[in-house]
Amino acid sequence: MNKLDESLLANLPLFAKLDRAQIRDILDLATTRRFDAGATVFEEGEAAEHFYLLLDGYIRVVRLTPAGEQIIALHIPSGHLFGIAAALGHTTYPATSVTAAECLCLSWPMRHLNGFLQSYTGFSDGVYKTVGTRVADMNNRILELATQQVEQRVANTLLRLINQTGRKTDDGIEIDFPITRQDISEMTGSTLHTISRLLSAWEREGTIKSTRKKIVVTDPHKLVLHSS
Amino acid sequence: MNKLDESLLANLPLFAKLDRAQIRDILDLATTRRFDAGATVFEEGEAAEHFYLLLDGYIRVVRLTPAGEQIIALHIPSGHLFGIAAALGHTTYPATSVTAAECLCLSWPMRHLNGFLQSYTGFSDGVYKTVGTRVADMNNRILELATQQVEQRVANTLLRLINQTGRKTDDGIEIDFPITRQDISEMTGSTLHTISRLLSAWEREGTIKSTRKKIVVTDPHKLVLHSS
DNA sequence: CGTGCTCTTGAGTGAAATCAACACATGTGG
DNA sequence: CCACATGTGTTGATTTCACTCAAGAGCACG
């Protein structure tokens, strides 16, 4: 087994306050795992036996309704932890994690989580700050779902996506992973038909450019106008 | 200033693992505050300078949209902490807290929160477990809002209310604080008109009894049928 | 080169919002 | 004590947004 390089973690805010030796200790407990696009990392309801750090790729956190409908709770970009609900007292995973693109992860047995939280300065703060950000996101999501029309929700969702996972291109800002109309409908509580119509309209007015599984926002300002 | 009685806290799960002396220390740092029904404890965006324990009454956590619409994020029953978002790295309150009935609270300056979390066994676990429960609730809320019809969301909301804050009466289970059609519409992302029609229909079929600001669920099972 | 995803677009439908009017309860101040 | 304002709740009529149903076109991959 190859030793992992310490620079993998040293640049992440989460580990910024740790010294080389501490990072070494943490890395020596980690397992590296690679996942193809579309692979399931863990499923809702499973015993939460590992927690993960996403080194590269994107993770989609999804939930299923009893009726079998799926909704996407959030996307996790590289550098962030996931599967850490045990820090909030859960013993099973509260949602399913699927890869939105090819992913590279580190994983640790869950029993180390409390140790890390207590032993490493800044780690606990970082973890709970991550949780705080996600909770704030969820709250905004609820506010949107409860009060806004589909058009506004989709505009807000796209704006969030380009802010969190946007990549600059010649034409504008591109969402960094493959994303379908169906995916967006599962993020906004809508249908792929309605999303298709909306994106077609926005393409016509020059707000976005879109091809198969790819969306480039060419005029974010126009999107902001649609978002409220 | 009256000394607060230790039994106030000793029976709460949050403080179960603490001895008398520790509870005494905590109480000596606390301030008691009483609020009339409808009073605002703190507002979204304010610097988070205190955290609270609700001894008696009910707290409504609400958020405002830029457009001025209001939605109710959750209700907090007595015995629970609120205003603890600082534990997730927030420096301002992420939502407004309003009393749904007359309330009695203890409050502490926020600078003690980290001390409590670190010093008292079980307190940290309890706090994060509370957070975990609320996050799980929010997740379910999102799933409901994204996939269910108004009727199902209202049924689920009533079921949650009677589970969390229900009080047994001769007729059935009553929601323990005054609640209007408008309130329920703000919990479900609907309108008071639709809620009124729904509750009228359910009253006609014998599922609930309702008068001004009061709802008694007489047949929870029928409500379950409406909930999915 | 067909088979399965992904995406588009039109037509019809329905759930719930909006608009509108009124009834009733509660509390306030003259 | 009454008059009035305010808050709450009901119910009907109308409208609209977005879902459902339906069909087909384009692309990608084995």
Query: Which one of B125, B138, B147 has the shortest CB-CB distance to A71?
Result: B147
Joined tokens for residue B41: 């404890």
* Strand D reaches within 7 A of the B192 CB: yes
Task: Report long-range pairs for A156-163 (Cβ below 8 Å, ≥24 apart).
Answer: A156/A227, A157/A184, A157/A187, A157/A188, A158/A184, A158/A208, A158/A215, A158/A217, A158/A223, A159/A220, A159/A223, A159/A224, A159/A227, A161/A75, A162/A217, A162/A220
The per-residue pLDDT for A176 is: 95
> Per DSSP, what are the bridge partners of residue B129?
none
Instruction: Report chain A residues whose CB lies below 8 A from the CB of B128.
Output: 87-89
Cβ contact A145–B145 (<8 Å): yes
The reply to whether B78 Cβ lies less than 7 angstroms from strand D is no
Is B118 part of the contact surface with chain A (CB cutoff 8 Å)? Answer: no
Give pLDDT tens digits for B173-219: 999 999 999 999 999 999 999 999 999 999 999 999 999 999 999 99
Nearest 5°: phi and psi at B37? -60, 135
Residues with Cβ within 8 Å of residue A192, at least 6 apart in sequence: A180, A181, A182, A184, A185
Pick out residues 152-181 of chain B having their CB under 7 A from any atom of nucleic acid strand D: 180-181
Q: According to the model, what pLDDT value does residue B3 have?
A: 75
Indicate if the pLDDT at residue A2 is higher than 80: no
> What residues of chain A lie within 8 A of the CB of B139, using their CB?
63, 73, 94-95, 138
Which of B95, B132, B139 has its CB closest to that of A73? B139
Residue B224, chain A, CB below 8 Å: the answer is: no
Report chain B's mean pLDDT, rounded to a whole number.
95
Residues in chain B with CB shorter than 8 Å from the CB of A65 are 143, 147
pLDDT digits (tens, 9 = 90+) for A78-119: 999 999 999 999 999 999 999 999 999 999 999 999 999 999
Chain A neighbours among B 188-217 (CB < 8 Å)? 188-189
Q: Coil, strand, or helix at residue B129?
A: helix
Q: List for chain B the helix, strand, coil content (%; round to 5).
A: 45, 25, 30
- Are B94 and B82 in contact, with CB atoms under 8 Å apart? no
